[in-house]
Chains A and B, each alone.
Chain A
Amino acid sequence: MDNVAAVIGMDPAEFRLKNLAARGERTRPDLRALDMDMSELMVRVTQSFASESQGSNRRSRGMAVAATDPANTPIANAIVRLKIDGSILVSVSSIEVGQGAHATMARIAAQTLKQPFSAVSTLRADTAVAPYDWGTGASRSTVVVGLSVENAALDAADQILDMVVDVWELPKESLSLVEGGVSTGSEVLTFHQIFHRTLGVDSGEVVGRGAITPRSKKGALAESPLFWETSAGLAEIVVDEDTGEIHAPRYASAADVGRVIDRVAAEGQDEGAAAMGFGHALYEQLEFEDGQPLNATPIDYMIPRISDVPPVFDTILIENGDGPGPGGAKGMGEGAILPVAPAIANALFSAYGVRITDLPMTPEKVWRALQRGSEFMEFNMSMMVPATPGDLWKTLIDVPSISSCIPGCENVEEIAPLESYKAMVKQKIGPFKVEVPAEIVVESVTEPSHVRTRATGRDKFTGTRLAVILDVSVIPEDLGSKLTVDAKVDIQGRLASMGLGVIKRRVDQNFEEFETRLKSLLGAA
């Protein structure tokens, strides 16, 4: 995306916003239409960085967005048991491996039955006892198993309300669940009172059963994917140009999760996924020699530690309550892994114009790319001027008239005489439009023989960086003076990598033009 944006001279974020599929649009005829707004994700990660001023010259930013279609088959069963003491047992076949699935199931049961979270336990999965589920994976448990838990809880609620209807002879519409029992409108019956009066003993439970199949919800769950798993990532990087090492001081990750059920766990999932993204982006690589792995231990196989991931990490979970799961939840946790590597690669591209396409982006790879990417262009000219060095010098330090010789140079502004200036350089090079607000610093002056100036700037459209070092010398000669100009031009960034050849030709032409204009200004030969 960034490559295409660079070729047409458009900001990569703008390019994406113009072309993103909208909510409700299909990207493939056999897949569900997009159920979220990618642009919302992009806006949110951008806002996250907005508090910080634009990256300095040493820092650069890159963004990426991603969507994936998890294969979240809608088949699951759950059992929810509500006991006389108000405690609740949830039984599902979801496997808890630290992702928080069991706590989430407990939360869904608690919310549905309006009981405190502390009253609910999720039983350790044992497939001899727990009901059938298609599997723990594809970000499906919260949605599919969660819906079956919700159904099972509703079934249990129904049974307990039916007891009250039956024994107290009250209309069902007047009843509602409250913490510890059922409200009739005028009083609260505890679960103990209900079981005691209904069963005639001081024990008992109701067993709710919930099932989800492709036919549930009038077939609304049948189409694949059940929801889109999406994310946007915005990375800020600093490159050690000497070693090629990439540091990421800041990262923002946004995911549309429909609704958050357990905030700590949800953020942990998103951050964990992004940390794994940093792993494959910068570090992880299995190496083999003669078919044997060379780094098959954690000593040699590098996984990012907490000190290797960005110290400032913003996790944004977007909640529009529009997912297929309980309360509008969607699955999450896998999406955040996707944009990390491309966001970092885009940041590298935006600052240096180098594009790395095989992961991980190790320091050596980056260093080699930087070596190739930066190419100085040098230009020299010399001319005889029929004026004394002193007179020539006066003309030379008349900055406005000298800059009028530079093609495309406009709005020269003096900040401090013979110290610093500002100007705008506008160029159209082939298909590219370049507009560089340049800062010009006079680095050294030896009157009336030598002046060195440095002009630097960054193109408004492509972020391409331009640096020009100009050495101008005046040498006394018999018939006047000799003027020599040595220029070193360094262009780094997207433009350089897209069309260095075109740029070189253009800079060449500009220098010829500069020489011609200068000669006529000075009446030189």
Chain B
Amino acid sequence: MLPTPFEFDRASTVAAAVSAVGQEGEGMFYSGGTELLLAMKMRVIHTERLVDIKGIPGLDRIVLNDANELEIGSRCTHVKIAGDSVIREHVPALASLCANVANVRVRSVGTIGGNLCFGEPHADPPTMLGALDARLVLQGPNGTRSVHADDFIRSELETVREADELMIVIVFPRPTGPVTYRRFKHGERPSVNVGMAWSMEAGAHSIKSARVRVGALGSKPQPLKAVEGVLKGLPVHDAHRAIQSVLAAALDELDVNEDRHGSADYKRHLAGVLLLRNAEEAVAMQGRAT
């Protein structure tokens, strides 16, 4: 099907894009178009104005900044992140996540900003960015604000972003310990995914704190608080057993939708399997690092 008619605008600055979307009538940012154009062709999304942001310079940078944080521009494609040397050095798990999203066509034009802003509940990056404690920087007509990755997705396909706010960059502290990520999929998108990031005490034998996010089960990624709690301050080699001791109760707390991707008890079980495998990998990574 052809989309219903719309205007097309090419912005060359963030300000121009923001004001073009904010003009009268409903406008939308157009990045890789891998979600948006499909939805427009199916006529489930209609917009009066598409504002192409591909021509805005500077939105596809990846750097380690002076504050020891990683910055990923919202216009970075999955392919770019997967192959970027800074990401591969500091967060290889994110590089491999991006290398395995979707298919090669989607990866080469689809962007991380578009992924986040679409708010698809079976997406990979939101889970991982929650575990990495990322901030998402939005620029609107009245300036910029930053939102924690955990707070960004409100519900299925719904985020806290205003229609005329452009996501410009994703920022997170450079990890100081192992970061692991696993997904289980039997189809195009994950049925469940689990991201885990440990920050380490100096000397790197114990876990200072841990962040664990489980995605694709409910409308947005969820923390596993009990697991985070039990890992705090723990020697690395006790991590696996400690997780096992609280796992059943922690999994019970998860909000799980039953859908085509599986029934609730199965997906809960899978979350546990992925988490334990992540833990094994993290222990092994830390073993190599020290």
Contacts and interface: CB of A to CB of B under 8 A. Distances in A.
Interface string B242-278: 0000000000000000001011001001100100000
Contact of A287 (B260, B266, B269): B260
11 contacts: A243-B184, A245-B186, A283-B186, A294-B260, A299-B188, A300-B187, A300-B260, A302-B188, A363-B184, A367-B266, A368-B266
Given A287-B260, A294-B260, A302 B269 contact: no
Contacts of A295: 260
Chain A contact residues: helix, strand, loop or mixed: loop
Nearest to B38: A299
Contact of B273 (A242, A302, A362, A368): A242
A158 interface: no
Nearest to B42: A297
B270 A243 contact: yes
A283 to B, nearest CB: 8
Contacts of B184: 243, 245, 363
A245 B277 CA distance: 15
A447 interface: no
Nearest to B267: A364
Nearest to B262: A364
Given A243-B273, A287-B260, A302 B187 contact: yes
Given A243-B270, A294-B260, A367-B269, A362 B188 contact: no
Say which size band chain A's interface belongs to. 10 to 19
Nearest to A371: B269
A149 B253 CA distance: 70
Kindly name the residue among B260, B266, B270 whose own CB sees the greatest number of chain A CB atoms within 10 A. B266
A-B pairs, 5 with minimum CB distance: A242-B273, A364-B266, A302-B187, A364-B262, A299-B188
Contacts of B269: 367
Nearest to B106: A299
Interface string A298-334: 0110100000000000000000000000000000000
Given A295-B260, A364-B266, A367-B269, A300 B186 contact: no
Contacts of A243: 184, 270, 273
A421 B273 CA distance: 34
Contact of A300 (B188, B263, B270, B273): B188
Interface string B186-199: 11100000000000
Interface in A269-287: 283, 287
A364 B270 CA distance: 10
Interface string A218-254: 0000000000000000000000001101000000000
A75 to B, nearest CB: 43
A300 to B, nearest CB: 7
Contact of B263 (A294, A299, A302, A364): A364
Nearest to A367: B266
Interface in A328-385: 362-364, 367-368
A243 B191 CA distance: 12
